[in-house]
């Protein structure tokens, strides 16, 4: 009996099929090896290798697959958190070429105002801040703030705020890597102002972190920013507040979510948050606060290591200047309008022979923001067998499997793409 693996195409035979692509030789060889490996593992038969290889080549130079997010989770970490607005995408594309990121075009000389546009946009959107700095991500902002304001010293933090920030990274370990000693005060469920007072001697800063991805209910207590400001003043300490998910100002839809404006007005020296969560922008660590405090961060050597690139600066500036982002639109989507869209989608699917019905479905903020807060809405329920074929399309369609059904929530899908979603579901249901 002939081993079927003998029929796997040779590397040179596969490469000959893709001579006119823009992919480099090493990239094509890697795709050829991937194809051959799929044959050896019996994922595809050898006779399908050429088509499989060409499909890989056809995906282009990037391996990430676009996704239609029908989960109802607005800031979905697994699919890239916030979706950028078209205007932010345009700004990013413009910045992809040569731009005046560190050039004064009037004089033709080097400029020291890197990120001035994003800084100006943030200060206009949050007048409570005197200065702003943007770094690579939220963890980088937290690390830089502690290194600049409390290096070789002590930082006070409530035991109830010693969070794990994702991917197994824990806040204490992150902070201590900045050569800072964390001093835990209070208890897990209750921390009072006097707990900070007792530990203030020898410290340089107080750190308040919003536990954005969980809630502690019941017999609880915490010290507010204004209370911590009084303690910081009495002991000459800096006050760092990490709000987490990134509201610039209060949002009635998320009444318990902290925001930068309120924290700054209450006395925070520095407020930190992520750019790719509720702000609706690219991944970035946004730092707002008093001018002297932000300047200390800007001049610290670590600032260079966590510097943000031109693409994210451009996308962030555009995002902050917009009246509405895809994130804010999804968060505040009208349930009645979602119902009408869901009804229309279900009707279209049924006309094409796919069983579908509309069911109530609460969306979620996601990304660690406002845990447990429901976003009232609706979803189209189809057979859960469609989940896998929909995930394997391009763009992939990601829904939520629940009680034997695949739920497709339109909250995070632009209305202009409803027809595209309907076609994808219809194709996934074909034998």
DSSP of 261-291 = HHHHHTT-SEEEEETTSTT-SSS-EEEEE-H
Three-state SS for 148? Answer: helix
The dihedral through the CA atoms of 149, 210, 248, 262 has a sign that is: negative
The pLDDT of residue 369 is 77
| Distance, CA of 363 to CA of 378 (rounded, Å) | 8
Q: Between vectors from CA 392 to CA 387 and to CA 394, what angle results, nearest 5°?
A: 120
Whether residue 22 has a cis bond before it, omega within 30° of 0: no
CB 285 within 8 A of CB 140: yes
* Two structure tokens written together for 250: 């209060």
Q: Which residues of the chain have pLDDT under 70?
A: 1-4, 431
pLDDT confidence of residue 62: 83
Identify the pLDDT of residue 429: 79
Do residues 290 and 45 touch, judged by C-beta distance below 8 A? no
- pLDDT at residue number 244: 86
| C-beta atoms surrounding 422 within 10 Å | 22
Helix (H, G, I), strand (E, B) or coil at 376: coil
Rounded Cα distance between 209 and 187, Å, is 15
Which residues contact residue 31 at a Cβ distance below 8 angstroms, ignoring those fewer than 6 apart?
Answer: 14, 23, 53, 56, 57
Residue 184 CA to residue 144 CA, distance in Å, equals 20
Structure tokens at 52: 């499989």
Q: CA 250, CA 217: separation in Å to the nearest integer?
A: 22
User: What is the reported pLDDT for 271?
Assistant: 98
| Residue 252: Cβ-neighbour burial (10 angstroms; 0-12, 13-18, 19+) | exposed
Report residue 86 as tokens: 């078209």
Contacts of 397 (CB under 8 A, 6+ apart): 67, 68, 70, 390, 391, 408, 421, 424, 425, 428
What would the two tokens of residue 190 be? 């209750």
Nearest CA-CA partner of 314 in 129, 90, 82: 90
CA distances from 296 to 146, 230, 292 (A): 11, 22, 6
Say if residues 38 and 20 touch (Cβ distance below 8 Å). no
Helix ranges, 103-177 (H): 116-125, 138-150, 171-176
Tens-place pLDDT, residues 268-326: 999 999 999 999 999 999 999 999 999 999 999 999 999 999 999 999 999 999 999 99
DSSP string, 183-203: EEES-SSB--HHHHHHH-TTE
pLDDT of residue 291: 98
């Amino acid at each position: 009996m002939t081993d079927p693996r003998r029929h796997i195409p040779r590397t040179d035979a596969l490469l000959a099929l893709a001579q006119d692509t823009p992919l480099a030789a090493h990239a094509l060889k890697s795709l050829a090896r991937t194809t051959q490996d799929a044959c050896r593992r019996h994922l595809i038969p050898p006779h399908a290798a050429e088509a499989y290889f060409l499909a890989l080549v056809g995906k282009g130079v990037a391996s990430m697959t676009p996704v239609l997010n029908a989960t109802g989770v607005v800031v979905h970490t697994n699919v890239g958190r916030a979706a950028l607005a078209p205007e932010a995408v345009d700004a990013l594309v413009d910045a992809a070429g040569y731009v005046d990121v560190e050039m004064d075009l009037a004089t033709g000389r080097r400029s020291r105002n890197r990120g001035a546009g994003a800084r100006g946009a943030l200060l206009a959107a949050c007048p409570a801040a005197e200065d702003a700095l943007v770094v690579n991500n939220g963890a980088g902002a937290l690390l830089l703030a502690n290194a600049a304001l409390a290096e070789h010293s002590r930082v006070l933090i409530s035991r109830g705020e010693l969070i794990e920030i994702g991917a197994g990274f824990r806040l204490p370990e992150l902070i201590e890597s900045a050569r800072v000693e964390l001093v835990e005060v209070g208890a897990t469920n209750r921390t009072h102002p006097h707990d900070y007072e007792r530990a203030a001697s020898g410290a340089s800063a107080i750190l308040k972190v919003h536990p954005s991805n969980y809630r502690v209910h019941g017999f609880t207590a915490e010290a507010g920013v204004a209370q911590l400001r009084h303690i910081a003043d009495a002991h000459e300490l800096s006050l760092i507040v990490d709000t987490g998910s990134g509201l610039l100002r209060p949002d009635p839809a998320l009444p318990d979510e902290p925001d930068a404006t309120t924290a700054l007005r209450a006395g925070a020296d520095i407020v930190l948050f992520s750019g790719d969560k509720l702000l609706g922008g690219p991944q970035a660590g946004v730092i707002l606060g008093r001018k002297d405090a932000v300047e200390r961060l800007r001049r610290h050597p670590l600032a260079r290591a966590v510097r943000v690139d031109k693409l994210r600066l451009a996308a962030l500036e555009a995002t902050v200047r917009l009246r509405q982002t895809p994130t804010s639109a999804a968060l505040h989507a009208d349930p009645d309008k979602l119902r009408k869209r869901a009804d229309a989608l279900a009707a279209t699917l049924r006309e094409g022979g796919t069983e579908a019905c509309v069911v109530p479905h609460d969306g979620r903020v996601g990304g660690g923001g406002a845990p447990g807060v429901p976003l009232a809405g609706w979803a189209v329920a189809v057979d859960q067998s469609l989940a896998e074929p929909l995930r394997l399309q391009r763009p992939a369609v990601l829904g939520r499997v629940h009680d034997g059904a695949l739920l497709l929530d339109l909250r995070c899908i632009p209305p202009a793409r409803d027809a595209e979603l309907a076609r994808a579901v219809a194709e996934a249901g074909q034998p």
